[in-house]
Structure 1
Amino acid sequence: MSGESVTPSEGAKEPATAYRPGYELVAEQLLTYIAEQDLMPGDRLPTEQGLALILGATRNVTREAIKVLAAIGRLSVRRGAGIFVAASPGALNDDRLAHFQPTSMEHVMMLIDYRHLIESDTARKAAGLATPIEVRAICESAEESHTAGLAGDVQGFAATDELFHDSVSVAAHNVFLRSGVTTIRRLMSQTDILLFHGDVPGSLEAAGRQHLAIADAIASGDAEKAAELMQAHIDTTRQQVERKIRDRLFNLTSPPAAAPGPRRADGGVAQEPPPEVSAS
């Protein structure tokens, strides 16, 4: 089960004594295997037993890893047919993004760099193009996220945070920018679940205040200020992620984390305590 551990693959940079759940290590190795074999969405993988032999893991741990990767949309398990690389919707059909490694610090940092560029330009364009209705949607979602942050309402903040960033991307009136924002958030959610178990640190209240400042700049039509504030917002996320990764690499006292269950229709994890979210 998820409490079992396996030896990290050669070249892993974590201390040999650091605890990582077995399912997490095998999930990481399985994504690497998919990339190395250049498997694309729709390609069939070996059986559960075959994957266990390839990855040098027990069948139980391999099963847990497959469940997690299916939950985040990277694998598709079809009863009686086998295990397949999932066909991802939208921009994720790009061959390079199909091999995104959510547990790789290099990939995560590249994703945040991309977010820095895309979302700052999205905020800049929104400040110049947003209609009154779109400005109201941005301001209302920013206020709701701040209220949820003040109350420590993790689930409420997660929902309003998504609404805020989506509202800004809508107001930019550029379908490609909006697609980029959606793709970024989908990929980051894989990292949050697989690498951080929904436990990325950050002040929800502070993130809500940043949302309010960005919304004010967009409402006043100050394009450069909106872009600058969005960049600062993303920089805060970068610092949180870097700190969390350092904690994972060097803090050996953290208790084992259980494998997350299947995703609910609303994006949550079924039969698990409500996770914390990144203040993003």
Structure 2
Amino acid sequence: MNNPLDGIDSTAKPLSEQIALQLRGMIFDQHRFQPGDRLPDERSLAIEMGVSRTSLREAIKILVAGGVLVIRRGVGTFVSETPGKVEDPFGFAYAEDKKQLLSDWYQCRLIIESEAMELVAKNAADEELEGLEELARRQGDMISAAHKGNPDGYSFMELDREFHSALAQATHSAVMGRVLPALHEWVYFGAAIGEYPRLSRQMEENARKSHLSIARFLKMRDGKGANLAMRYHMLQALEDVERP
């Protein structure tokens, strides 16, 4: 059996970084460890890789910081359920001006998500487009019912994330499919929660009308129409956020 560290160059990167790269290879390239899997104990893994436990420990710290591994005290080291995804890599949760952060976020989405609608219209399967329309209609009914005093387990932010994540997946772009949902995680649940009480009614009405409009344009594979509908959706959100 080949030593996993046969290719290590002692004159290149620090040993801990090289070990971290080898461990990443075991996870992402060799698929030896799957999301949620527990790594062998530190002593066994160090012997297998031919490195010291100290160097291995430092490599594990690097991968924990990168969101690839998680340490459960008293249990062991595990591959993250979402390896490589860091919860808040840009520190948005620490932004002091949440209103400005939310405004900046919508401006970013105005550029990215509007153009992404062209990809959805081009790449999505018919079943996906039908599912988007059904999802938008069902969510609109839930919003209307909540406004009439029948919330029925209703969570607007979860509904909104579900719709926009479905759009991202329907682009069939590996980048869009990861970036757009991540933006929701990093910003929406860091900034929007604080601003939501002030904006709830406007945000919900905007989503109820715009989501269905976007979905209907997409079902007709009208990318330009969906682009314009998404632009209206984001511009309306921006106007609501920036209103005193």
Fold equivalence (TM over 0.5): yes
Question: What is residue 123 of structure 1 aligned with on the other side?
Answer: 117
- Equivalent positions of 1:6-155 (< 5 A) are 90=85, 94=89, 97-98=90-91, 101-104=94-97, 105-152=99-146, 153=151, 155=154
SS in 1 for 2:233: helix
The residue that corresponds to 1:75 in the other structure is none
8 A contact 1:192–1:200 mirrored in 2: no
Is 1:41–1:98's contact at 8 Å kept on the other side of the alignment? no
Aligned AA (1:221): R
Contact 1:142 1:160 (8 Å CA) reproduced: no
2:162 corresponding residue in structure 1: 163
Q: Deviations over 1:251-273 (max 9, x none)?
A: xxxxxxxxxxxxxxxxxxxxxxx
TM-score when scaled to structure 2?
Answer: 0.57
**How far is the alpha carbon of 1:142 from its aligned partner?**
0.4
C-alpha RMSD over aligned residues? 3.3
**Counterparts in 2 of 1:112 and 1:218: CA distance versus 1, 3 Å:** same
Q: Counterpart in 1 of 2:217?
A: 217
Q: Which runs of 5+ in 2 are unaligned?
A: 1-61, 66-71, 74-82
**Deviation of the 1:219 alpha carbon:** 0.6
Partner amino acid for 2:138?
A: E
Higher relative contact order (CA 8 A, sep 6+): 1
Letter of the aligned partner of 1:118 in structure 2? I
Q: For 2:191, give the aligned amino acid.
A: T
Q: Work out the number of aligned pairs and report it.
A: 163
Shift of 1:159: 3.4
Q: Deviations over 1:12-49 (max 9, x none)?
A: xxxxxxxxxxxxxxxxxxxxxxxxxxxx9979xxxxxx
Cα distance in 1 for residues equivalent to 2:221 and 2:238: 27
SS at match of 1:175: coil
Larger Rg: 2
CA distance in 1, matches of 2:104, 2:206: 24
Greater helix share, 1 or 2? 2
**Percent same amino acid at aligned positions?**
20
1:238 corresponds in structure 2 to 238
In the superposition, relative to structure 1, how do residues 197 and 133 fare at CA in structure 2: closer, same or farther (>3 Å)? closer
Deviations 1:90-123 (A, max 9, x none): 26564xx135644424433322221112211222
| Structure 2 Cα separation of the partners of residues 176 and 132 of structure 1 | 22
Mark the CA change 1:176 to 1:206 in structure 2 (over 3 Å): closer, same or farther: same
- What is the DSSP-based 3-state SS (H/G/I as helix, E as strand, rest coil) of the residue aligned with 1:155? coil
Counterpart CA distance in 1 for 2:209 and 2:157 is 15
With normalisation by structure 1, the TM-score equals 0.50
Q: Residue 90 of structure 1: SS of its match in structure 2?
A: coil
* d(CA) in 2 for partners of 1:92, 1:115: 19
